[in-house]
Structure 1
Amino acid sequence: MDLDVGNALAAVAEPGVPRDALERLDDRVAAAHERIERGVANGEFGYASLNLPETADTAAVETAADRIGDVDHVILVGIGGSALGAATLADALAGPDAAELHVLDNVDPAAVERTLDRIDLASAAVNVVSQSGTTAETLANFLVVRDAMADAGVDWTDRTVVTTGDAGNLRDLADAHDLPSVSVPDGVPGRFSVLSTVGLLPAALLGVDTDGLLAGASAAREKLGPSLFDSPAYAYGALAYALDVRGASMDVMMPYAEGLETFAEWFAQLWAESLGKDGLGQTPVRALGATDQHSQLQLYRAGPHDKLVTFVGVDDRPDVPIPSADLEGLDYLSGASLGGLLDAELDATEASLAAAGVPNLRVQLDAVDAESVGELLFSMEAACVLAGELYGVETFDQPAVEWGKEAARGLLRGDRTLDEGDSLEVE
C-alpha cells in the first residue's frame, strides 16, 4: 500500500498542511508511537487490536468452519463492528463460487423477512456475533432466524456457529447445545475486530484466504515506526488530524473499486466511533468512484473547503475491453477498457480537486486481494489509533453508543426516566 500526500500540502490545498508543520507534527507522532507500542506490548484494551496479525486464533476459526462444512448461504447476525468487517471481507474477496453472505445488522422487520424468504435455510449457516452476548438487536434477529429454521424443518443447532465472549447469554446457549463457537479476543473493540475471529470466521465460511489477510496486516504492522515519513498508516492518521484542525472536518472515503464500497462503510464506523469525542473528530463520508462523481463531486470541488477526500486506487484488476460503438463522438473509447476508463476517472477527479485547492490523499493498492485488503484494514486501524493519540481522546470506548443502547433497553422495559449521567458498561 502506498500513500500520496502531495495534494494535502499547503502548496496545493486550502486548507493544507505546510511542510514545516509536518516536520513539527512528526515529533508528536514519535511520542504517540511510543505510547502505542507500550499499549500493544502490554496488551492494553484497544491497543491489543494491533497485535491481531500475530494473535488471531486461526485454529479455532478453522475448527468451527469445518464443523459447519460447505453451505450455499451464510447468514451473519450482528451489528456494527460485529458485522461490517465480515461484510467488507466478503464484498472485497469472496469468489464467484463462494456462498452468499446475508447480513442481518438491523431490526427492520420488512428487510429481515425479505432476506429470510429468499434463502434456502436448509443450505444456510448462521453465524451469530455479539461480544457481550446481550446485544438486543442481534439476539432479536437470531431468535427470528431460529424460529424461521424451525418452521422450515431445519435443525438450527446443526447450522449455527457462535462468536461471543467467555460469558453471557450466547456463551450459555453455545454450551447448552454444543454449538461450534469461537471467542472474541480480550481487549479488542468491535470496530477493530475484523482481523480477529469476528471477521475471520465468516470469511473462512466464504472461502476467503484468511492467511493472506493476516500476512498483509503483518506487513503493515512492520511499517509502523516513530516517523510518519516511514509509515503510510501513520502518515494517513497524522494528515487527517492535521487537516481537520485546519478546517477539513469531513473525510470522504472514495474507493475506485466496487468490491471496496463496503470498506468505506467499515471506515466510517471506525473513524466516527473512535474519534468523535469531546467535541472533536472528523465526520466520515462514504462515496464510490466513479459513481459519486455524478452525485457528490460538485459539492466537493465547488462547495466549502471543509473536506478531505481520500481516494483508494487499485493497480492490478480484471479488465473488460470496450467494444467499438460506431457512434459519433465516442471515438475516444476506441481501444479502451472499463478498467482504463475507471483509472482515468480517478486521475481526472484527483487532478480536478487539486486544481480547486481541495485537500486529497491517495491510497494505492497493488490489487483487491487478501494481502492488500489485510494491509489496508490494518493500516486504517493504526491510523485511527494514532489520530486518537493526537486528538487526546479515549479512542477505544464509545459512551454515546452505550448510552443509546441502554436507553433502548429501558424503553422496551417501560422505563422512560434514564438519566444520561447513569454509569454504562462499555461493550
Structure 2
Amino acid sequence: MTEKLLTIGVGGAIGVGSKMERVEEKEMELLETSLRQAESQLRIAAGSGLDGAGWIRLPYSDLEPVRRVAEKLSVFDSIVQVGIGGSALGNLMLNNAFQHPHHNELSRKERKAPRFYMADNPDPQSLAGIWDCIDPARTAFIVASKSGSTAETRAVFLWFFEALRESLGEEKAFGHFVFITDPEQGLLRQLASKGVLGILPVPKDVGGRFSVLSPVGLLSSMALGLPVNDVLEGARSLDGILKEAKGIWENPAWILAAQHTLHFRKGRPMAVLMPYADALERFAEWHAQLWGESLGKQGEGSTPVRALGAIDQHSQVQLYVEGPDDKLFTFLNVEKRGPDWYIPESPLKELSRVNYLGNHSFDELLSAEARSTAAALKKAGKPAIWMEIPRIDGLRIGALIFLYEWVTALTGLLMEIDPFDQPGVEQGKRYTYGLMGRAGYESDAAEVSKEFGEIVSKALTV
C-alpha cells in the first residue's frame, strides 16, 4: 500500500503536565522489551487456539460461508439483528461508518440493500418500534450469541420468534432466522436442524468484544453491501506493519499501549476518545466496551470516555481543559469526510461579521476545531494524542479496529490484567437468572434481594 493508513502524533502527550506526572520518551522506550514479549505471547496464543486471542486470526478468515448466508439475507426487505454488547456494537459501528446516515428512510432503489434494525436492549418500547416498522413476511432475523444463554438476547429472540410463528407458522418462521453462535454447542446450535436460513460460528477463542471481524459483525455488513473485504484488507495491512516494525517508534500499537500504560501509572485513569466525524461516533462506543470490559479488573482499570467533535466541545471540553489532570485524550480526525460542501459568503450586511467562514469547507471547519481543541488541552498541560485518517473507507476502518484491539490487549498485559475475561459481568448475570426464576440460581436470587434491599433501605419518594 502506497497511501497512508493513518497518522499518530504523540508529541502532545510527551513531556506534558507537572514534572512528576509527565511521560517521557525514554520511559516509552524502556517498555519496548515488555511490549515485544507481550505481542509474541499473544501471537503464540492465537496460533495455539488459546482462549481469547483468536481475534488475531480473524482478518485472514475465509469469508465464503458468510457470503453464502449474506446472499440469502440480501433479498429481504429488512434485517433485524438480535444481540447485545459485542454482538451489537461492532455492527452498529460498521453501519455508522459506511451507510447513508438515514439508510432506512431511503427507497429500496436508493439504499440498494435491506433496511437494518438492531434489537439489542430488551426495552419493550424500542422492540415494539421495530415491529411497527417491519413486514414479518419480508424480514430476516440474525440472532448472535456465542453461548446462546444471554438473557437479553434469549428474551428478544423468543418474542420475535413467537410473533413470527403466530403469523407465518413454525416452519416458515424458522426460515427467517440465522444463528451466529458456538460452533459445537448451546441453545441456538440445537435449533440448527429446524430449517433455519443459516448458522455460522463464533470461534471458540474469540470473545464477544473482539468479535467484530467474525460473522457476528460481518454477516449483516455483507448483506447490506458494506465494504467487508476492504475492512479485512485494512486489518491485514495494519497487522503487516506491526510484524515488520523494528522498534517502538515504528509500531503504532506499541506507541499507544505504552502511552496508555504510562499515563495510567502517572495518575490518569481515564481514556477519552474524541473522533471528529459523525460516521465515527459508533466507533467510540465500540471502543468503550472493548476498553472498559478488557481493562477494568482487580480494583484497577482505565475508564473509557466517549466524546464526539465538535458537539462535545460544547458539553465536556470545559471540564477537560480546566478540570483535573486525570485523562489521556485521543483526537481522531478525518481529512476528507464526505461531499465538498462549502460555507457560503452572504451578501447581507447583517451577516458580514460571519463571512470569515465563507468559502471554507465544512471539512476545514471540523478539522480546525479538532486541532484547536487539542492545542488548547496541550497548552493547559493536559496530554493529547493526535490521530488522523485520510478518509473513512474500509481500509482505514479495518486498520483502526485491528489497531485498537491490539492496543487493548497489549495494555492489559502491561498492566498485568487478563484482557480477555470479564468476571465482573458474571455476578450480575447470575443475579438476573435468579430474579427471573432460572433453576439452580435460587441462592443468587436471595443474595440480590438482600443487597438491593440495602440500596433502597434509605430512600425518598416524592
TM-score range relative to shorter protein: over 0.9
Residues 8, 122 of structure 1: alpha-carbon distance in 2 compared, 3 angstrom cutoff:
same
From 89, 98, 123, give the equivalent of 1:93: 98
Give yes or no for contact 1:241–1:391 (8 Å, CA) kept in 2: yes
Q: For residues 157-168 of structure 1, what are the structure 2 equivalents within 5 Å?
A: 157-165=174-182, 166-168=184-186
- Residue 314 of structure 1 aligns with which residue? 334
Give yes or no for contact 2:148–2:181 (8 Å, CA) kept in 1: yes
Structure 2 residue 264 is the aligned partner of structure 1 residue 244? yes
Report percent identity of matched pairs: 39
- Residue 375 of structure 2 aligns with which residue? 351
Structure 2 residue 418 is the aligned partner of structure 1 residue 397? no
In the alignment, residue 423 of structure 2 is paired with which amino acid? P
Structure 2 residue 392 is the aligned partner of structure 1 residue 387? no
**Alpha-carbon distance between aligned partners in 2 of 1:362 and 1:157, rounded to the nearest angstrom:** 48
- Residue 302 of structure 1 aligns with which residue? 322
- Report the alpha carbon displacement of residue 417 of structure 1 after superposing the two structures with TM: 2.4
**Alpha-carbon distance between aligned partners in 1 of 2:137 and 2:364, rounded to the nearest angstrom:** 43
**Alpha-carbon distance between aligned partners in 2 of 1:70 and 1:288, rounded to the nearest angstrom:** 35
SS in 2 for 1:106: coil
Give yes or no for contact 1:250–1:285 (8 Å, CA) kept in 2: yes
Greater shift after overlay, 216-225 or 411-420? 411-420
Give yes or no for contact 2:67–2:222 (8 Å, CA) kept in 1: yes
**Alpha-carbon distance between aligned partners in 2 of 1:296 and 1:273, rounded to the nearest angstrom:** 23
From 29, 35, 40, give the equivalent of 1:23: 29
From 227, 243, 246, give the equivalent of 2:247: 227
Residues 116, 122 of structure 1: alpha-carbon distance in 2 compared, 3 angstrom cutoff:
same
Structure 2 residue 120 is the aligned partner of structure 1 residue 105? yes
Residue by residue over 1:72-123, the C-alpha shift from the partner in whole angstroms, topping out at 9 and shown as x without a partner, is: 3221100110111111111111355143321111111112112221223333
SS in 2 for 1:224: helix
Residues 173, 13 of structure 1: alpha-carbon distance in 2 compared, 3 angstrom cutoff:
farther
**Alpha-carbon distance between aligned partners in 2 of 1:227 and 1:389, rounded to the nearest angstrom:** 18
Give yes or no for contact 2:277–2:337 (8 Å, CA) kept in 1: no
- Residue 118 of structure 1 aligns with which residue? 133
In the alignment, residue 412 of structure 1 is paired with which amino acid? M
Residue by residue over 1:206-251, the C-alpha shift from the partner in whole angstroms, topping out at 9 and shown as x without a partner, is: 1111110100000111122463311112211221111111111111
- Report the alpha carbon displacement of residue 151 of structure 1 after superposing the two structures with TM: 5.0
Greater shift after overlay, 39-48 or 306-315? 39-48
**Alpha-carbon distance between aligned partners in 2 of 1:188 and 1:46, rounded to the nearest angstrom:** 5
SS in 2 for 1:417: helix
From 335, 349, 352, give the equivalent of 1:328: 352
- Residue 361 of structure 1 aligns with which residue? 385
Greater shift after overlay, 370-379 or 144-153? 144-153
Q: For residues 185-264 of structure 1, what are the structure 2 equivalents within 5 Å?
A: 185-225=203-243, 227-264=247-284
From 78, 85, 90, give the equivalent of 1:80: 85
Unaligned runs of 5+ in 2: 1-5, 104-110, 448-462
SS in 2 for 1:392: coil
* Larger Rg over CA atoms: 2
Give yes or no for contact 2:175–2:196 (8 Å, CA) kept in 1: no
Structure 2 residue 193 is the aligned partner of structure 1 residue 175? yes
**Alpha-carbon distance between aligned partners in 1 of 2:387 and 2:115, rounded to the nearest angstrom:** 29
Residues 368, 152 of structure 1: alpha-carbon distance in 2 compared, 3 angstrom cutoff:
farther
Residues 212, 11 of structure 1: alpha-carbon distance in 2 compared, 3 angstrom cutoff:
same
Greater shift after overlay, 190-199 or 34-43? 34-43
SS in 1 for 2:242: coil
In the alignment, residue 350 of structure 1 is paired with which amino acid? A
In the alignment, residue 36 of structure 1 is paired with which amino acid? L
Give yes or no for contact 1:13–1:354 (8 Å, CA) kept in 2: no
**Alpha-carbon distance between aligned partners in 1 of 2:345 and 2:193, rounded to the nearest angstrom:** 62
- Residue 455 of structure 2 aligns with which residue? none
SS in 1 for 2:359: coil
From 4, 12, 21, give the equivalent of 2:9: 4
- Report the alpha carbon displacement of residue 32 of structure 1 after superposing the two structures with TM: 1.6
**Alpha-carbon distance between aligned partners in 2 of 1:378 and 1:212, rounded to the nearest angstrom:** 13
CA RMSD of aligned residues (A): 1.9
Greater shift after overlay, 322-331 or 107-116? 322-331
- Report the alpha carbon displacement of residue 375 of structure 1 after superposing the two structures with TM: 0.4
- Report the alpha carbon displacement of residue 253 of structure 1 after superposing the two structures with TM: 1.1
Give yes or no for contact 2:74–2:224 (8 Å, CA) kept in 1: no
- Residue 436 of structure 2 aligns with which residue? 412
TM-score norm. by structure 1 comes to: 0.93
Residue by residue over 1:4-35, the C-alpha shift from the partner in whole angstroms, topping out at 9 and shown as x without a partner, is: 11111124677431122112122221222222
Greater shift after overlay, 190-199 or 16-25? 16-25
From 39, 43, 48, give the equivalent of 1:37: 43
- Report the alpha carbon displacement of residue 168 of structure 1 after superposing the two structures with TM: 1.1
Greater shift after overlay, 345-354 or 98-107? 98-107
In the alignment, residue 354 of structure 2 is paired with which amino acid? L
Unaligned runs of 5+ in 1: 421-427
Give yes or no for contact 1:185–1:197 (8 Å, CA) kept in 2: no
Number of aligned positions between the proteins:
419
**Alpha-carbon distance between aligned partners in 2 of 1:74 and 1:309, rounded to the nearest angstrom:** 37
**Alpha-carbon distance between aligned partners in 2 of 1:404 and 1:129, rounded to the nearest angstrom:** 20
Give yes or no for contact 1:8–1:361 (8 Å, CA) kept in 2: yes
- Report the alpha carbon displacement of residue 153 of structure 1 after superposing the two structures with TM: 4.5
**Alpha-carbon distance between aligned partners in 2 of 1:129 and 1:178, rounded to the nearest angstrom:** 14
Greater shift after overlay, 328-337 or 264-273? 328-337
Give yes or no for contact 1:94–1:207 (8 Å, CA) kept in 2: no
Give yes or no for contact 2:174–2:194 (8 Å, CA) kept in 1: no
